[in-house]
Structure 1
Amino acid sequence: QAAEAAASSESELINAIKKGLKERSAALTAELLKTKAALEIIDGELIPALDIVGKGFEKKTVFLPQLLMAAEAASAAFAVIKEGIAASGGASEKKGKIVLATVKGDIHDIGKNIVKAMLENYGYTVIDLGKNVPYQTVIDTVLQNKIKLLGLSALMTTTVANMEETIKLLHQALKDAGEECRIMVGGAVLTADYAEKIGADYYAKDAMESVAIAKEVFGK
């Protein structure tokens, strides 16, 4: 019976996220944390829920307001998980600093926010510059903090050119300063080939991929 209850509460959380129910998602997550590890909930509940909504959005069975509400509900669940990790003293070992930014001209930051939450849950420190970030802000932040990994996001075809420009200017600034920083890029309009073409080191097709990239860059 306990197993049945667990199974029903699992699907309840996925349903709550899909419906964009923030408070319900947070409450169900708090309940699940009593019996499950944080990463188990992220991998088994939050990411599958966001995948379902994301695929629906691609197929046009889910529309932007629903996508935004689901992302907010998932963020509420992530917030509960982060509190749980902090309270239990887990992931207190910081593994490295990563800068994230949605490029100049682009006002979409759902994907970036999910990546941020994932990286933080895996113990990385994230400096989030937000959306529509000017080139110089990215460059200054990377150099001042001696950042070894930068994540850039673009969701609009029109802003990919700004991503390319950000990378070009950063490469020059790093060269002048004698510093090194790896760049990962992501966003619905990008492909691995295009990422390589614009000078990025890595293409992150989703949030989990960005965690794998961080592990590779920092060696832990």
Structure 2
Amino acid sequence: MANYVEEIKELVIDGEDEEIVDKIKEAIDDGVSVGDIVNNGLIEAMNVIGPMMASGELFVPEVLMSAETMQVGLNYVKPLLQDGDLKSLGTIVIGTVEGDLHDIGKNLVAMMLESSGFTVINIGIDQSPQAFVDAIVENNAQIVGLSALLTTTMPAMRDTVALIKEKGLDVKVAVGGAPVNKEFADTIGADGYSEDATGAVALCKGFVGA
């Protein structure tokens, strides 16, 4: 039997989004389980991509292509998934803080997190502190990720963390973005900081003990 799972993994790593669905169909027709395709093909590919990005072997445009290919494959198989095929590591709300319209980095982090097994609620750009709080409550999230790309919007990140704490929400707060560093994260009371998507995945996995 062809090693469909390995082929699916390689298509994701290579960013071949036009071929991924056909290969998944072939695999299913030949008796490969959807759970195997998802966990050992799609998700495992992103586990390979992360270290390649961290080492400089792959760059953001290539990683985005891989993440998008993985997403195409995942969207195709989602209706076929049985309970137990895909175990979520937890729910993460992610967004760019109020006044900031940047989303490429945030979207890459969101895709990498989803690819790693998290349920991700991406609430978009220019989100108020209350919008983050509402999304956390509505989705019973375990983690919230705040992104800021402008130094002028860093106070909005501080305000968001303050409101989350004020509301007493039991959620881990991760922050990131070009102007943000660990010292700032500590100052505003965040639980963790990452400078890139790979680090964000590791940080969030650490939060849930995965």
Q: TM-score, normalised by structure 2?
A: 0.71
- Deviation per CA, 1:111-138: give whole Å up to 9, x if none: 1111211221222111111111011111
Give the aligned residue type for 1:79.
Answer: Q
Deviation at residue 41 of structure 1 after TM alignment: 3.1
Q: Structure 2 unaligned runs (5+)?
A: 1-5, 28-36
User: How much is the aligned-residue C-alpha RMSD, in angstroms?
Assistant: 3.5
| CA–CA distance in structure 2, aligned partners of residues 81 and 173 of structure 1 | 38
Write the distance in 2 (CA, Å) between the matches of 1:145 and 1:158: 29
For structure 1, the residue ranges without an aligned partner over 5 or more in a row are 1-5, 18-24, 55-66
**Range with bigger deviation, 129-138 or 88-97:** 88-97
Most deviating of 28-37 and 127-136: 28-37
The residue that corresponds to 2:32 in the other structure is none
Structure 2 matches for 1:102-141, cutoff 5 A?
102-141=96-135
- Alpha-carbon distance between aligned partners in 2 of 1:158 and 1:134, rounded to the nearest angstrom: 14
Match of 1:156 in 2: 150
Distance in 1 of aligned mates of 2:156 and 2:85:
34
Q: What per-residue deviation string (whole Å, max 9, x for no partner) do you get for residues 79-117 of structure 1? A: 234247645768611221111111011111111111211
How many residues align? The count is: 188
Aligned match of 2:171: 181
Deviation at 1:162, TM superposition (A): 0.9
Deviation of the 1:30 alpha carbon: 5.9
Change (3 A) 1:29 1:213: same
Is the CA contact 2:46–2:67 (under 8 Å) kept in the aligned structure 1?
A: no
1:38 and 2:32 are equivalent in the alignment = no
Q: 1:91 to 1:121 in 2, by over 3 A?
A: farther
Post-superposition shift, 1:49? 6.6
What is the deviation of 1:184? 0.3
Give the TM-score normalised by structure 1: 0.68
Q: 1 CA distance for matches of 2:88 and 2:111?
A: 14
- Matched residue, 2:31: none
Change (3 A) 1:32 1:155: farther
The alignment status of 1:171 with 2:165, answered yes or no, reads yes
CA distance change for structure 1 residues 127 and 72 in 2, over 3 Å: closer, same or farther?
Answer: same
- Partners of 1:30 and 1:46 in 2: how far apart? 22
Is the contact made by 2:95 and 2:147 (CA closer than 8 Å) also made in structure 1? yes
Distance 1:199 1:218 in 2: 19
Identical amino acids, percent of aligned pairs: 30
CA contact (8 A) 1:46 1:74 kept: no
User: Residue 192 of structure 2: which of 202, 206, 209 is its match?
Assistant: 202
Separation (CA, whole Å) in 2 of partners of 1:207 and 1:49: 9
Superposition map of 1:43-122 within 5 A: 43-45=47-49, 48=52, 52-54=58-60, 73-83=65-75, 86=78, 92-122=86-116
Whichever residue aligns with residue 182 of structure 2, its letter is: A
Query: SS at 1:26's partner residue?
Result: coil
Higher mean alpha-carbon deviation, 187-196 vs 205-214, is at 205-214
